[in-house]
Amino acid sequence: MSRKVLMNGAYVAWDHATVHISTHALHYGTAVFEGIRAYYNDGKGQSFIVRLTEHVERLYRNIRVLRLTLPLAKQEFADAVIDVVRENALKEDVYIRPIVYWGAGTVGLYPYGRANDYAIYVEPMGKYFDDIDAGLKVCVSSWARLSDNALPPRGKFAGAYVNSVLAKVEAVQDGYDEAILLTKDGFVSEGSGENVFLVRNGTVLTPPVSDDILEGITRDAIITLCADRSYDVRERRIGRSELYTADELFFTGTAGEVAPITSVDGIIIGDGGAGTITQELKEAYFNAARGNDSRYKRWLTPVF
């Protein structure tokens, strides 16, 4: 079955889901998007969208920053996301991409007078990182993380992701799986598309929101899972050298899920494998996301 894309309230075939060449977002990056996962539980015959409400809330916060508008209320948009997954009938793990953007018009930076368009599509997605089970080889990027006063990294603005693309391409072409970016002040910020956690002496550390990170929804889930397991979690500034001396390191993200990091700049982390706490949190997250742990059913929206 050919996939379908919801564009401005109407379904179109995947091959016809196009935008005009003069679309403002294409030229200037003026779009807001979300990345949402839905996991299929074969035993339950059900797909569960993970933390749909939080993703829609974040989307609406960010479209306000970019001064976009949507013709749908939040619940209507959430219902549309569910309908797109159901309409495509993909009984497997999928990634959902809603996007809202300034549309077609004449050349120029000022976007007003154009339509505010939106689309929602879904595609199959297994592991984002090929080597996630073996652990990731990571480098500290030569590119600094953009700052809140330049282009707010806490929002998923399309144009901001050029910063992430530069870091990712550099890392992969230099033989690494992923990059970690530092703030302009030299503190640890985040990966190209993931939040960073480290473990030291049993304490779980992660950079604060003020260090130019995305307010990750998976990050928030991991903090909750840590608290429920009585781990001490601290949000504080993290120096670059702390990466090298950590007992454990891992990324979190909707696409990247919970991904252990086994080396940074060629320096082995811990014993060179996924750490005990990392593995525990990874298993806990997947049990929750697949609907196998009733304590976190509030995070899940069933599709079928």
Rounded to the nearest 10 degrees, what angle do helices 217-228 and 276-289 cross at?
110
Q: How many CA atoms lie within 13 A of 299 on its CB side?
A: 24
- 156 is known as an active-site residue: yes
| Interatomic CA distance for residues 72 and 109, integer angstroms | 26
Q: Which residue among 156, 184, 282, 297 is the active-site one?
A: 156
Find, among 269, 268, 271, 250, the residue nearest to 260 by Cα.
Answer: 250
Structure tokens at 115: 């339509």
Inter-CA distances, 286 with 42, 81, 215, 216, 289, Å? 14, 21, 20, 17, 5
Give the single-character DSSP code of 239.
B
Its sign, for the CA torsion 19, 20, 21, 27, is negative
Give the single-character DSSP code of 72.
S
Q: Are 92 and 39 in contact (CB under 8 A)?
A: no
Residues tagged active-site: 156
